[in-house]
Amino acid sequence: MTEQRKPVNITRNGRVVARIVPVEPELAGEELEQFEQTWADMDQLAAEISARWPEGVSAVDAVSIERR
């Protein structure tokens, strides 16, 4: 499992009862900085959207309106 990084199913009586999945390696250095910057950008975008979002309109309502 470690080399191939594939999950392993645990079965009982032919049915999957559990799954063991490999842990992703921790991010380091530049990759970690990019990850943190991406989340910071997404938080900023969420704040900008929230500031302009109409009162009383849910995300479901907004999507429904756009689909019409």
Digit-coded pLDDT (tens) for 4-59 = 888 999 999 999 999 999 887 787 788 889 999 999 999 999 999 999 999 999 99
Cα 27 from Cα 37, distance rounded (Å): 13
- Is 2 domain-assigned? no
Is the pTM value of this prediction over 0.95? no
Q: Write the single-letter amino acid at 42.
A: M
How many domains are contained in the chain? Answer: 1
Would you say residue 2 has pLDDT above 60?
no
DSSP H/E element including 41: helix 29-52
Question: In this predicted structure, what is the pLDDT of residue 17?
Answer: 96
Name the residue range of residue 22's domain: 8-67
State mean pLDDT over 61-68: 86
Strand partners, 9: 19
- Is 38 domain-assigned? yes
